[in-house]
Chains A and B, each alone.
Chain A
């Protein structure tokens, strides 16, 4: 027996996409999306272990605390093999490979034109065969140290993480994904091994292919590969969440660094423990539509700020949601960050009095369909959307139905509830 439970089919006629999902006996979620006619094939192997996972216990045991940046450090070290780097074998197979760590997960991926199945073999095997030594762990600290410094010199990155530090008092989402040179200094092979055996069990992972390949050949290969190693029963891992109080940690975080253009972000914070799946996705979508109505280029604010020379076309708005917290982030480059914050605060107050025009919602609905059609051309977008929503127990295609369902009243209520002065924090970078 290779598969357990019922096969799940996720599909959407508007987007013209279909994902078939099965659960491997090891507990791994395995999914396939066929993209007819595409020469490029893409696959990823993702674990629900990201930068926010800083505390856990197993089988009700004592709490284990992890240093900041360890999920990202582990991502780097997984490529190390006993004979050669995993990248080299991908190159030998004519594929290009990469990996990234987010707040909630770590993803290993490759894309290729030919030789999809040998690449898939290599992907699953290298992620399931760690090779940590004292020497290679120490060596990595120098490399990641340079990566941390590269981001420290990137004002766009700094203004965002400073905003998170301003918004959150306790929550680990505020910490830099790569940690700091100090927090990674104490990482050892034993600690990496502990994280790998805890969080890289197949039951915590998703293997996905987006490719013009035969579906059953893929499932047969994936089933075989995941059965190669018996990693035992899934550990009973309890991730310990950090309770986050209402209200921002700081009203303003201001960093000085040498920049060509000053940067500014305004963020509003949400606390919503316990919501998941469709409810979480609905909240995300309603917030995004609301933010677009208020701050988007077709809204009342953008052109006014642009004409006053307070913003440029880098001005944007987004919403980032997690299972327990969320925040919006609005801003970009500005000639006068203080004035921009002042004007936005005033104008948002006015917009809350006037409310949202129902015709704006209709236009946003239409526009969002076009955006989704564009986005689902991309193999990476399909994979990111699938893994991101599955990590939150959602359905990646449900967004289309939700778009049709959401009402002006709902968007209006979200405006009144979210964009409130008490939840606002600002981040500024100037020379």
Chain B
């Protein structure tokens, strides 16, 4: 336990436990449960699918609770402790997480307590999995590989998200932004019990590790209760790749793909040449917000409400890749009209022809969204972690202040950087 520094709004008290391993504790008295998030960070790349198998296999059994059923029974005994694995991304990094939530001791009947036992259980799940001859069981690995393969295949079932991912893959063919956090089926081919066991060991020993705890934290010895979670971490952390440069747009490209269904999904990718740390980053957030993202935004009021072209329509700016994506669920026959209408709305913002009202509403909406985050420990932990990974100031207050300083002029300046890259359409086969 060495130096501690506290951030103002996200309110986490941070301690560096070892090189590349940090503990973040936030006192939260308003809620009835504690939340614990244990995350390991990798570079996005061909290894992504293999990394996903680690939390999946860990949750299949531990030394004292060696099956899925016994893990579940123990969770129920611990007052319905919710435990699960997840895999997310932050720019070019992949985040592998074990999440847990359990009641505050003060909320339990009589003298019942759960904190210490819950952490002990989670610790065992992470550090003492059920191994057979020193490895994850063959049956566990093959079952989780099969499950993960189907998770990758199942991505197609959410058409909007699928269309957006296909658009990113085609836009960023040689950039790390193209990878999905689930990875690819091909990279699962050579997985064995030995390789998953090695991946688990490597993850807990050297992957950069972040533990976020939010709860009543009444005990003075809370940090000591949580320290065993770092028991597998070594003295040397893996080095992550340097930040990949953001690219500008080339020639505008078009791509259409088909599926059997009823609604077409139009996704347009734009290069903004703007990202975290750029003086115009927050102005680009607001420009994207004036364009889409809120019910007062131009895509909603003009493309949806005035022209009746779609139900869902949105714009999303990613400060890591510098991409802005606009998506709309439409009738395939109106693709050209919708595309023109979307581009026209962006031109309106570039020309500064949006109202003061639209500008102010977007500032207020962002401020409100950021403020609300402070009621959600999981959102705060995510904001804190992602900020650290993408090089953003990890305080919500800091971001709110920067958003408040955005001017109309800087929004116009940012909007002028928006260049169309790829117009992607996923359309029903009947429309061919």
Interface residues of A (CB under 8 A from B): 14-16, 35-40, 85, 87-88, 90-92, 94-97, 111-114, 139-140, 142-147, 149-150, 152-156, 257-261, 296-300, 302-303, 306-307, 309, 312-313, 333, 335, 363-364, 366-371, 373-374, 376-377
Contacts and interface: CB of A to CB of B under 8 A. Distances in A.
B368 interface: yes
A142 B309 contact: yes
Given A40-B375, A261-B153, A307-B143, A95 B368 contact: yes
B155 A260 contact: yes
A165 to B, nearest CB: 18
A65 B301 CA distance: 33
15 contacts: A38-B30, A85-B301, A88-B296, A96-B294, A113-B371, A139-B308, A260-B155, A297-B68, A303-B67, A309-B146, A309-B147, A367-B75, A373-B79, A374-B32, A377-B32
Contact of B80 (A144, A156, A306, A367): A367
Contacts of B146: 309, 335
Contact of B151 (A90, A112, A312): A312
A261 B199 CA distance: 27
Interface in B125-170: 139, 143, 146-147, 150-151, 153-160
Nearest to A261: B154
B77 interface: yes
Interface in B75-98: 75-82
B33 interface: yes
B148 to A, nearest CB: 9
B371 A369 contact: no
B335 to A, nearest CB: 13
Given A146-B310, A307-B143, A374 B368 contact: no
B357 interface: yes
A92 B107 CA distance: 39
A143 B304 contact: yes
Contacts of A112: 368
Interface residues of B, number: 70
Given A88-B296, A297-B68, 12 more contacts: A36-B30, A92-B357, A145-B331, A146-B310, A146-B311, A259-B157, A260-B157, A302-B72, A306-B68, A333-B150, A367-B75, A374-B82
A149 B361 contact: no
Contact of A377 (B31, B154, B357): B31
Interface string B280-314: 00000000000000111000110011001111100
Interface stretch (B224-232, B260-268, B315-323, B345-353): B260-268
A149 B365 CA distance: 30
Contacts of A367: 75-77, 79-80
Contacts of A150: 159-160, 263, 311-312, 329
Contact of B32 (A16, A88, A307, A335): A16
Contacts of B80: 366-371, 374
Interface string B17-29: 0000000000001
B311 A147 contact: yes
A138 to B, nearest CB: 9
Greatest chain A CB density within 10 A among B76, B102, B104, B260 is at B76
B310 A260 contact: no
Given A91-B361, A312-B150, A260 B263 contact: no
A313 B147 contact: yes
A337 to B, nearest CB: 13
Given A142-B308, A146-B263, A333-B154, A153 B159 contact: yes
Greatest chain B CB density within 10 A among A35, A144, A258 is at A258
Interface in B361-379: 361, 364-365, 367-369, 371-372, 374-375
Given A91-B364, A370-B80, A149 B154 contact: no
Contact of B261 (A257, A298, A376): A257
A88 B157 contact: no
A368 B81 CA distance: 10
B109 interface: yes
Given A143-B304, A155-B157, A297-B72, A92 B311 contact: no
Contacts of A312: 147, 150-151
Contact of A152 (B69, B72, B262, B330): B262
Contact of A146 (B102, B331, B375): B331
Given A16-B32, A92-B357, A85 B372 contact: no
Contacts of B308: 139-140, 142-143
A370 B79 contact: yes
Given A369-B103, A374-B101, A258 B261 contact: yes
